[in-house]
Amino acid sequence: MKESFFYHALKIDEKRCFGCSRCMRNCPTEAIRVRGGKATIYENRCIDCGECYKVCPSGAVYVAQDDFASIYNFKTRVVLAPSIFFGQFSEKYNASLIHSVLTDIGFTHAIEVEASAYIHSQVTSDYISSHEEHKPLISTFCPAIVRLIQVKFPALVDNLVPIKAPVDFTANYIRKKLIDEGVPEEDIGIFYITPCAAKIAATKSPVGEDKSSVDGVLNMDTMYNMVYKQLKNQAKEYKTKLVANDVTSDCVVFSLTNGEKRLNNCKKSFAIDEIHNVIDFLDKVENDDIENLDFLELRACDQGCPGGILTCGNRFVINDRVMYRAKKLADRERSGETSRKKEITKMEDYLVKNSRVGKILPRSMMKLDEDISVAFQKLTKIREIEPKLPQIDCSVCGAPSCHALAEDIACDNASLLDCVFIQRNLENRNSMTAQESVDIIKNIWGEEKLDDYILNK
Amino acid sequence: MHFEYNIIESDFANAGKASSEIKKTMKQLNIDAQKIKRMVVAVYEAEVNAIAHAFGGTIFVDIDSEKICVLIKDSGPGIENIELAMQKGYSTASAKVREMGFGAGMGLPNIKNNVDDLDIKSEVGVGTEIKMVVNFI
């Protein structure tokens, strides 16, 4: 586990981490261990899903983002805001108003990410109907899911649809549009407001791509604060200078659960959200248990992107606001007040031509070793060790489960003596002193946790 | 490395435990994903066959660094004509079993397609032994 595969946006602030182990016990890929009283991440197991961020009680898990000031490295500064960003604000602040505020806090242009969702779904549908041999085809929209499949379900990597995300389509569109208007390419900076860590990781090390289509990523909570402050500081009414007219009613809901599925129009498809649900389902897909499946929309977060770790507000409320906006857009489309044909469709051919990503490769975290005979020796060792452990998954050894400890021992990342049951047993047989077992616990959980608090009180 | 699993007559609901465990083990050994899939599909088919036709049995799994061998031994009616059973679409499944979505007559042909070696021994009125091998190299 020394080799590092991915850039990770999720990091642990050692100053804040007090080694409570909640993250370790909630990580769906068992990527976290406690060592020296701090959480540490096995980087090639982490898929940036953000479960650790959600459960951390001390704010020690954080999401590294680009400095906002870096937008000023560019003369033309474009912000790509996903529709759920507008759903952060109550109905009295409409999308056009938020667009206007974005251009007042430093950006020269604002565009909604889902502008390209319709073109994206056309390309995806074409790919699905011409790749019967890899059914069910799996959406690559959620980067945490792409990574999950790479590390935990390597047999399914060929089922991933190798098409860029709507954010890349929209970034390509706006860059080309500005260049066509005469803006020098080096002056253009495109910044994406992200609802999650996985999107940052995907931007910093895109899977199957050399370079990302955006120049920087800003966290949604940071941007929410900036926009909200601007709205609150303004005396009385904030003037709307722009009309938000990038998206159609069916595209605005793209990042909500079922949004992509509805647009792709496949015969038999499922939309599944929340990482554990997805893992359960992929187990079945991998065994060919579910027949005649065409397409899977899989999302790591409950409710899709409204459940992202960097969103502000309740995911059901955000979901409802976006749905409400879609309904209002649909009414306006029906009455002819707004057209379903948006400016971006003029550039459809260009976007389609640049829509594919390179080959997505498996990066199994399950394998114990590249070399099968070494892997076999390790597996034999795991099977010897496991029955000796108490099977209560107490995590006192600093691993999330007895099985994980057995794996760590076989891979020389832990010792059988890390188990408190083994320690008691050895003490009982006078093969270990109390001091020795205290030292082991201090090594795992840090010095402070064994301070003599009874005497100190 | 050796594991065993019991097969209980007509317990379709619990089919697949052996194939899940086999899958996990093969992943840990860094076996090619397509080989894992082939073995898992074959074992699952054979297990469902035994659940459907026999009065219970046992799955024996043996893995070394070169191959995986799965032996499914049941006590049941046996297969009268193995050659016929190997033909696509041939089935003796009861209406009840077909209603549950099994018994399409693709079991044995599908197993044969997925494994490197297949050996079937059967005695009418006694039971059937199916041995399946997938080589790692």
On chain B, the residues whose CB falls within 8 A of the CB of A383 are: 1
DSSP B115: -
Please give the residue of chain A at the shortest CA–CA distance from B102: A289
pLDDT of residue A457: 52
DSSP B30: T
Q: Which residue has the higher pLDDT, A158 or A7?
A: A158
Contact criterion met (CB < 8 Å) for B30 and A283: no
DSSP string, A269-307: EEEEESHHHHHHHHHHHHTT-STT--EEEEESSTTBGGG
Q: Does A426 touch chain B (CB under 8 A)?
A: no
At residue A2, does pLDDT exceed 60? Answer: no
Contact criterion met (CB < 8 Å) for B33 and A287: no
| ipTM, 2 dp | 0.79
Contact criterion met (CB < 8 Å) for A364 and B30: yes
CA distances from A97 to A48, A100, A111, A227, A243 (A): 32, 5, 13, 10, 8
**Torsion over CA: A302, A364, A8, A146 (sign):** negative
Instruction: Give the number of A-B residue pairs with CB atoms closer than 8 Å.
Output: 61
**Residue B63 C-alpha, separation from nearest chain A C-alpha, in angstroms:** 9
Task: Determine what percent of chain A is predicted with pLDDT higher than 70.
Answer: 97
Domain-by-domain residue ranges, chain A? 1-64, 68-353, 368-457
Contact criterion met (CB < 8 Å) for B65 and A376: yes
Please give the residue of chain B at the shortest CA–CA distance from A371: B30
**Residue A138 C-alpha, separation from nearest chain B C-alpha, in angstroms:** 17
Q: Does A290 touch chain B (CB under 8 A)?
A: no
**Residue B122 C-alpha, separation from nearest chain A C-alpha, in angstroms:** 27
DSSP-based three-state secondary structure for A334: helix
**Residue A68 C-alpha, separation from nearest chain B C-alpha, in angstroms:** 43
On chain A, the residues whose CB falls within 8 A of the CB of B31 are: 372
Contact criterion met (CB < 8 Å) for B33 and A368: no
Q: Which of residues 76-105 of A touch B (CB under 8 A)?
A: none
A1-64: CATH class: alpha beta
**Residue B33 C-alpha, separation from nearest chain A C-alpha, in angstroms:** 5
At residue A4, does pLDDT exceed 60? Answer: no
Q: Kindly indicate the confidence band of residue A46, based on its pLDDT and cuts at 50, 70 and 90.
A: very high
Q: Which two tokens stand for residue A25?
A: 């016990």
Axis-axis angle for helices A143-152, A275-286 (nearest 10): 50
Q: Which of residues 10-39 of B touch A (CB under 8 A)?
A: 16, 19-20, 23-25, 27-31, 33-34, 36-37
Q: Does A374 touch chain B (CB under 8 A)?
A: no
pLDDT of residue A1: 37
Q: Does A288 touch chain B (CB under 8 A)?
A: yes
Q: Does A394 touch chain B (CB under 8 A)?
A: no
Best A3, A30, A150, A376 member to test B by mutation, with max B CBs in 10 Å, is A376
DSSP A429: T
Residue-wise pLDDT tens digits, A138-152 = 999 999 999 999 999
Task: Determine what percent of chain A is predicted with pLDDT higher than 90.
Answer: 75
Contact indicator for A309, A63 with CB cutoff of 8 Å: yes
Contact criterion met (CB < 8 Å) for A287 and B41: yes
Contact criterion met (CB < 8 Å) for A155 and B34: yes
Quick one: average pLDDT of B63-88? 88
Contact criterion met (CB < 8 Å) for B41 and A375: no
At residue A210, does pLDDT exceed 80? Answer: no
Please state, as a whole number, how many other Cβ atoms lie within 10 Å of the Cβ of residue B23. 23
Contact criterion met (CB < 8 Å) for A373 and B23: no
Choice among A79-83, A146-150, A325-329, B74-78 with the minimum mean pLDDT:
B74-78
Residue-wise pLDDT tens digits, B88-119 = 888 877 777 777 776 777 778 889 899 999 99
pLDDT of residue A235: 60
CA distance A108 to A380: 61
Q: What is the mean pLDDT of chain A?
A: 91
DSSP-based three-state secondary structure for A92: coil
CA distances from B15 to A277, B38, B78 (A): 20, 17, 20
Choice among A60-74, A316-330, A397-411, B49-63 with the minimum mean pLDDT:
B49-63
Q: Which of residues 237-276 of A touch B (CB under 8 A)?
A: none
Q: Kindly indicate the confidence band of residue B18, based on its pLDDT and cuts at 50, 70 and 90.
A: confident
Show the beta-strand stretches assigned E in A42-153.
Answer: 61-63, 76-81, 109-112, 137-138
The set of residues, in sequence order, having a beta carbon less than 8 Å from that of A105 and lying 6+ positions away, is A226, A227, A230
Structural domains for chain B: 2-135 (3.30.565.10)
CA distance A170 to A114: 8
